[in-house]
Amino acid sequence: MTTATQNTDPIVLAFSGGLDTSVSIGWIKNATGRDVIAVAVDVGQGGEDLEVIRQRALDCGARDAYVADAREEFARDYCMPALHANALYQGAYPLVSALSRPVIVKHLVAAARRFRATTVAHGCTGKGNDQVRFEVGITSIAPDLTCLSPVRDLALTREKSIDYAEAHRLPIETTKSNPFSVDQNVWGRAVETGYLEDPWTEPTKDVYTYTDDPAFPPLPDEVTITFEAGTPVAIDGIPVTPLEAIEQMNRRAGAQGIGRIDIIEDRLVGIKSREIYEAPGAMALLEAHRELERLTLEREQARFKPTIENRWADLVYDGQWFSPLKSSLDAFIEDTQRFVSGEIRMVLHGGRTTVTGRQSQTSLYDFNLATYDEGDTFDQSHARGFIEIVGLSTKLAARREAAHGHDPVAARPPEVSAKG
């Protein structure tokens, strides 16, 4: 029975086409009495045809369903900033899932406006980072919306999903038990759960789909990547969009088994988890970009930037893509990219990327300063006074030690023994 005050607005659901979000459509309708609009966002995850996924949402009872093609947008506005930021969470994880959540959020909010919905639902559990990224993301750009997680808030467990799908004859595979939880997009692929939850267990071959075994590589593949202001614009001289650059490098670096990552990671919710990633294109592009920065960033800028990069990666990991601090850090990072233009040549082979050459019109490398051959323009007579001043404060401190009868080296605190 509906009362006058009951909310009858439709609910926008982030739809992946998998078992849980398919069951969520009917589950939400039963629990709330409200219609569901299913929105699938294409971030280059590949796999199933998105038209099939859209039809499945309708067959599962969605009032409306559509697919938003966000591939170019994701590559340009999400992956490229991550490349400029050399973004690796905990020094290892290129933020694959974390980067896709904000672009999905943008499309969910657009759908909510279009269908006059006040609630947005997602299929995340209550234990991971993605629930935080969706909900903090949504309320960061649409503070009037509320969020719902059927798995977490409406007690939709995996077993209930399977039973529900079978009882309602939903058009989704429930028997084939995929042991892994996978999230993938053009920037990479994340695999967790199943036997991988034992951190000692070695991943089997079936874990990987973006990369071939690096132990049996094809012949070495030499590639030249041209960057403009930190963004790849050509590969081997042929112009590419950001999306094409990532896709091509996924193929070429993937064939060489580059970009496999197996780590223990600290989730925002405090849990340590074992994660497998493969991000061949991202890891190869990050390597090339970092090398071009070594050639083009001024020394102090280069020394300071990693501090900002780490904070940027933490913020994005933590679901703060739309936060004021992230936006301020973006301004810093983009400013550093003005002269990050030029070419990197590298060889992809057997799981490794090896840079073999770099050149740039905006390079700070000055051959005449660097050379040890004839014709060097560096005035070595300046070095003497420079060293005098650089070493002055430490020299004064050493004199003081000596004046008190201490040997400056022996005056250090005693070493702590590990044996205690």
Site for ligand ARG, rule CB under 6 A = 97-98, 129-130, 181-183, 190, 192, 265, 275
Q: In angstroms, rounded to a whole number, what is the distance separating the alpha carbons of residues 133 and 183?
A: 14
341 is catalytic: no
AA letter at 259: G
State yes or no: is 101 an active-site residue: yes
Close Cβ partners of 411 (under 8 Å, ≥ 6 residues apart): 401
Give least dist CB 98 to ligand ARG, A: 5
Based on the residue annotation, tell me whether 161 is a catalytic residue of this protein. Answer: no
Q: What is the closest distance, in whole angstroms, from the C-beta atom of residue 43 to ligand ARG in the complex? A: 13
Is the CB of 227 or the CB of 317 nearer to ligand ARG? Answer: 317
Contact 32/175 with Cβ under 8 angstroms? Answer: no
Q: Which helix (H) or strand (E) holds 313?
A: helix 299-317
Contact 15, 150 (CB under 8 A): no
By CB atoms closer than 10 A (0-12, 13-18, 19+), residue 401 is middle
Q: Which residue in 64, 181, 221, 267 is the catalytic one?
A: 181
The 3-state DSSP class for residue 27 equals: helix
> In the complex, what is the shortest distance from the CB of residue 22 to ligand ARG, in angstroms, rounded to a whole number?
15
Q: Which is nearer to ligand ARG, 85 or 98 (CB)?
A: 98
- As a whole number of angstroms, the distance between CA 154 and CA 148 comes to 9
> Are the CB atoms for 135 and 109 separated by under 8 Å?
no
Q: Which residues contact 127 (CB under 8 A, 6 or more apart)?
A: 267, 269, 271
16, 34, 97, 130: the active-site residue: 130
Q: Is 146 exposed, middle or buried (0-12, 13-18, 19+ CB in 10 A)?
A: middle
Burial 299-327 (b: 16+ CB within 10 A, else e): eeeeeebeebbbebbebbbbbbbbbeebe
Shortest separation between residue 140's beta carbon and ligand ARG, angstroms:
18
- By beta-carbon proximity to ligand ARG, the closer residue of 138 and 348 is 138
Retrieve residue 87's tokens.
């973004």
Minimum distance of ligand ARG from residue 322's CB (angstroms): 17
Distance between CA atoms of 405 and 66, rounded to whole angstroms?
A: 80
311's CB contacts (< 8 A; 6+ apart) are 325, 329
- 183 versus 212: smaller Cβ distance to ligand ARG: 183
Catalytic status, residue 64 = no
Helix (H) or strand (E) holding 334: helix 324-336
What is the smallest separation between the CB atom of 96 and ligand ARG, expressed in angstroms? 6
Inter-residue contact 191 to 182 (CB < 8 Å): yes
The least CB distance from residue 53 to ligand ARG, in Å, is 16
- Separation of CA 74 from chain center: 11
Looking at the Cβ atoms of 265 and 291, the one nearer to ligand ARG is 265
Catalytic residue among 54, 56, 71, 101: 101
Active site residues: 20, 101, 130, 181
